[in-house]
């Protein structure tokens, strides 16, 4: 299932979908089906335009981020934190060493801030290598370098280094929480990813307090055109579409109760 989901996403992510539609249109036109070719190519062009030059991606992200609001204040006490992986560039680290954070760096920086102000809290980092090749180092293992370099001793960390997706995060984290006698942890992940993660944890019977970070939308997005930042628009659209498809897929697989 893991590999099928990866291949499916490679085909249906917005830019790939636009390319495949245009390619199919060209093939249809060459084969003599000009009307079908025009429709397919036009569909590809429309997907490309919406992806690059509209606020669709930001709106889709905003809808996800609004479902679990950012906490107004920090908790008075924290026994443990669950930090979901996805913030370290495993492929870059594999060749360059060190710890290289990506756009989801808030997952670690906010966990670090809370860890320094709540020295009693344990930190469970859940994340392995989510690539198709499986040849990169697991993220949870790399996270120890980040936390240790900034003053968090290794003994406070619990590293779950094998999960490849959020479903495996949930299963493996549940086992480690039971093994270490930890309950009622903060769940730290990106705002757009929190609805899916929280739904999985609740379905698995894991009591957590959501602590969303890494917000990508402004919170006051409106439908419209945006010709100033096509690359960012494309990234936002891809991230949002992937997350919505993840919610739907987990619902159809019976792993969450309701995607909306």
pLDDT, one tens digit per residue, over 4-55 is 999 999 999 999 999 999 999 999 999 999 999 999 999 999 999 999 999 9
Packing angle of the helix pair 230-252, 34-53 (nearest 10 deg): 110
Position 40 scores a pLDDT of 98
Q: Are 218 and 114 in contact (CB under 8 A)?
A: no
Closest-CA residue to 111 (of 171, 176, 158, 66)? 158
Directed axis angle between helix 56-65 and helix 34-53, to 10°? 60
d(CA 121, CA 203): 25
Over 90: is that where the pLDDT of 131 sits? no
Locate tokens 């392995």: which residue? 128
CA 13 – CA 234 distance, rounded (Å) = 10
196-245 tens-digit pLDDT: 999 999 999 999 999 999 999 999 999 999 999 999 999 999 999 999 99
Identify the residue whose tokens are 């934190």.
81
What is the chain's length?
260
Q: In sequence order, which residues have a C-beta less than 8 Å from that of residue 42 and are 6 or more positions away?
A: 25
Write down the pTM of the prediction.
0.94
Could you give the CA distance from residue 113 to residue 51 in angstroms, rounded to a whole number? 35
């Amino acid at each position: 299932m893991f590999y099928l989901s990866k291949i499916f996403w490679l085909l249906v992510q917005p830019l790939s979908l636009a390319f495949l539609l245009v390619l199919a249109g060209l093939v249809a036109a060459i084969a003599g089906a000009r009307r079908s070719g025009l429709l397919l190519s036009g569909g590809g062009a429309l997907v490309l335009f919406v992806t690059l030059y509209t606020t669709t991606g930001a709106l889709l992200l905003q809808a996800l981020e609004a479902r679990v609001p950012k906490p107004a204040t920090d908790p008075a006490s924290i026994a443990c934190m669950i930090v979901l992986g996805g913030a370290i560039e495993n492929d870059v680290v594999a060749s360059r060493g060190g710890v290289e954070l990506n756009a989801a760096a808030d997952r670690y920086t906010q966990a670090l801030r809370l860890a320094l102000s709540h020295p009693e809290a344990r930190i469970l980092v859940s994340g392995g290598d989510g690539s198709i090749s499986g040849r990169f180092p697991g993220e949870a293992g790399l996270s120890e370098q980040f936390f240790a370099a900034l003053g968090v001793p290794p003994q406070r960390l619990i590293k779950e280094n094998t999960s490849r997706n959020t479903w495996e995060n949930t299963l493996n984290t549940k086992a480690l929480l039971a093994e270490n006698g930890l309950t009622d942890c903060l769940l730290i992940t990106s705002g757009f990813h929190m609805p899916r993660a929280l739904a999985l944890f609740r379905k698995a019977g894991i009591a957590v307090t959501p602590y969303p970070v890494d917000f990508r939308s402004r919170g006051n997005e409106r439908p419209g055109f945006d010709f100033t930042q096509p690359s960012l628009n494309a990234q936002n659209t891809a991230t949002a579409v992937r997350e919505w498809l993840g919610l739907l897929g987990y619902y159809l697989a019976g792993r969450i109760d309701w995607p909306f």
